[in-house]
Amino acid sequence: MTTHAATAQAAHLGEQGMSRGMFGMVLFIASEIMLFGGLFAGYFYMRNQAASWPPEGVHEVDPVTGGILTAILVISGLSAHMGVVGAKAGNQGLFIFGLAGALLLGTIFIGGQIYEWFLLMDHGLTAESGVYGSSFYVLTGFHGAHVIVGLAMLLVVFIRGFWRDFTPKRHLFVDASVLYWHFVDIVWVFLYAALYVLV
């Protein structure tokens, strides 16, 4: 094989493989998975050590409220995916629409979570309500912080989209941001199952 042919083949493989930027985001998400894995492990350990769960006399979280928040966040992930499809196809309208929907729904999710926190505090469930309250606020608060980071990334993508900064061949930051948003979605589904359903 000639040097020119080898170079062309390497370039072709590089186009098919994962870029360094996306690989970096995958590694970052992998580290976040381990972090949440530790939080989940601590939660289930405390739960298994408790005589009853939730402890008697403690106000329980509402699975309906959590279910509504889950639906909002999952739909936002679908909307963000539409944005990626639009970016890759060069469809500016679909790209902007998908990102705008994800931003709106993600903001509603955060607002709904804050509303739920205040409602639970009014019913006496605070971070000082024993291990049940503290674990709920730590897990949902940690996830909420990640949602805010994801919203900031999507907002940057949205603004850059108006500048026509992405093309069908150049959309790495769109892919990376939406991949992070999907990670946030999936973590919440597990949180909903652990905190709201499996009680």
Tokens 């949180």 identify what position?
Answer: 191
Can you read off the two tokens belonging to residue 119?
């409602």
DSSP states of 53-100: SSPTTSPPPPHHHHHHHHHHHHHHHHHHHHHHHHHHHT-HHHHHHHHH
Tokens 């309208």 identify what position?
Answer: 93
Residue 11 lies in a domain: no
pLDDT of residue 72: 97
Residue 2 lies in a domain: no
pLDDT tens digits for range 81-129: 999 999 999 899 999 999 999 999 999 999 999 999 999 999 888 888 7
| Contact indicator for 143, 184 with CB cutoff of 8 Å | yes
pLDDT of residue 3: 45
| Contact indicator for 132, 67 with CB cutoff of 8 Å | no
pLDDT of residue 16: 54
Residue 104 lies in a domain: yes
Residue 105 lies in a domain: yes
pLDDT tens digits for range 33-42: 999 999 999 9
The CATH code of the domain that includes 92 is 1.20.120.80
Residue 13 lies in a domain: no
pLDDT tens digits for range 154-163: 999 999 988 8
Residue 4 lies in a domain: no
- Work out how many domains the chain is built from and give that number: 1
| Contact indicator for 95, 87 with CB cutoff of 8 Å | yes
- The residue segments making up the domain with residue 131 are 19-197
Identify which has the larger pLDDT, 19 or 143. Answer: 143
DSSP state, residue 79: H
Residue 6 lies in a domain: no
Residue 8 lies in a domain: no
Give the helix ranges, DSSP H, for the chain: 3-16, 20-49, 63-89, 92-122, 130-162, 172-192
pLDDT of residue 12: 42
Give CA–CA dist 54/38, Å, rounded. 21
